């Protein structure tokens, strides 16, 4: 049995282009795109998913793989995967920003920890919120939803040289502003509570100037910060649910489908 060069290149293109899109997703998406996941594991996972879903995908375009047009098609697939995975990264970073704001307001910001995902030193409260967001993301089958969406994207965004439009990139950039708004909303209760505590210490300083408010206020602010942090955990899943709904809507806008009620894993 002999195989022609054209048939081999056609089979190779049916694997390489879906591999690039799925690999771009896993490269940056939450949990799987972190530095904690070895590159070899990510590559093997990408290859396994591609081999499973490749027979279910539409036919690939009649473009030579190793050509200028083929390189353009490959770049577009990587960009689509990165765009879909970046939204989930914004989701987890929202809670990191909220935790950092709460830590700075509650005198807990001095406790820092090396962030293995970003390679930087961040407050422990931010890491704590990141761990919770990661666990909730896996609990709601967020990784399965993303895989389902990337498979659906081959129907609405077939493999070609066109890729994403400028409107889709604008939706992705607009979600970055939503991330900061959501982080401020999550930490707003802690900010107001600490503001009232600091205001009370200001009144005490005016009433009793001989009182060493700095030594007392630091300890009280830290204890109050831990109590406020415990209170904010009650609404953590509610905030995550609203943000996850927005993430699914943005993902659906990127790939061009309608999912007003969200997609379940």
Each residue's pLDDT tens digit, 211-225: 666 666 667 777 877
Q: Across the chain, what does the average pLDDT equal?
A: 81
Place 200 in a pLDDT band, splitting at 50, 70 and 90: confident
Over residues 149-159, the mean pLDDT reads 88
Cβ atoms of 108 and 96 within 8 Å: the answer is no
Q: Report the 10 Å Cβ neighbour count for 151.
A: 17
What residue segments make up the domains of the chain, in order of their start?
Answer: 5-255
Q: Where are the alpha helices (DSSP H) in the chain?
A: 5-28, 39-53, 68-105, 124-139, 142-156, 166-207, 213-232, 236-255
For residue 157, what are the contacts with CB-CB under 8 A and spacing of at least 6? 80, 163, 164, 255, 256
Over residues 229-253, the mean pLDDT reads 85
For 262, the 3-state DSSP assignment is: coil
Q: Which of 81, 74, 69 is nearest to 16 (CA)?
A: 74
How far apart CA 142 and CA 80 sit, in angstroms, is 18
Each residue's pLDDT tens digit, 8-21: 777 888 888 899 99
Q: State what percent of residues in the chain have pLDDT above 90.
A: 4
Q: What is the pTM of this model?
A: 0.80
Identify the burial level of 7 via C-beta atoms within 10 angstroms of its C-beta, where 0-12 means exposed, 13-18 middle and 19 or more buried.
exposed
Q: How far is CA 6 from the centre of its chain?
A: 40
Each residue's pLDDT tens digit, 105-123: 776 666 666 665 555 666 7
For residue 10, what are the contacts with CB-CB under 8 A and spacing of at least 6? 60
Place 265 in a pLDDT band, splitting at 50, 70 and 90: very low
Q: Report the 10 Å Cβ neighbour count for 249.
A: 19
What is residue 115's DSSP assignment?
E
Each residue's pLDDT tens digit, 133-148: 889 998 988 888 888 9
∠ CA 146-31-82, rounded to 5°: 55
Each residue's pLDDT tens digit, 53-105: 888 888 888 888 788 888 988 888 998 889 888 888 888 888 888 888 887 77
What is residue 118's DSSP assignment?
T
pLDDT number for residue 14:
84
pLDDT number for residue 236:
85
Q: Report the 10 Å Cβ neighbour count for 216.
A: 12
């Amino acid at each position: 049995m002999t195989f022609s060069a054209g048939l081999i290149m056609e089979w190779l293109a049916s694997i390489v282009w879906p591999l690039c899109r799925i690999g771009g997703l896993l490269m940056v998406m939450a949990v799987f795109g972190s530095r904690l996941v070895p590159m070899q594991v990510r590559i093997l996972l990408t290859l396994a998913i591609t081999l499973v879903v490749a027979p279910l995908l539409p036919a690939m375009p009649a473009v030579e793989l190793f050509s200028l047009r083929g390189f353009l098609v490959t770049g577009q697939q990587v960009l689509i995967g990165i765009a879909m995975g970046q939204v989930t990264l914004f989701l987890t970073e929202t809670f990191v920003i909220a935790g950092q704001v709460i830590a700075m307001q509650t005198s807990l910001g001095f406790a820092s920890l090396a962030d293995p995902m970003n390679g930087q030193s961040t407050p422990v409260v931010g890491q704590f919120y990141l761990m919770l967001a990661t666990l909730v993301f896996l609990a709601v089958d967020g990784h399965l939803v993303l895989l389902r969406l990337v498979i659906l994207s081959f129907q609405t965004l077939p493999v070609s040289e066109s890729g994403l439009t400028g409107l889709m990139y604008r939706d992705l950039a607009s979600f970055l502003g939503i991330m900061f708004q959501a982080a401020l909303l999550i930490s707003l209760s802690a900010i107001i509570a600490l503001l009232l505590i600091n205001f009370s210490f200001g009144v005490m300083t005016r009433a009793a100037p001989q009182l060493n408010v700095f030594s007392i206020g630091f300890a009280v602010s830290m204890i109050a910060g831990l109590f406020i942090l415990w209170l904010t955990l009650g609404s953590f899943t509610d905030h995550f649910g609203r943000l996850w709904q927005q993430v699914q809507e943005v993902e659906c806008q990127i790939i061009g489908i309608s999912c007003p009620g969200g997609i379940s894993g």
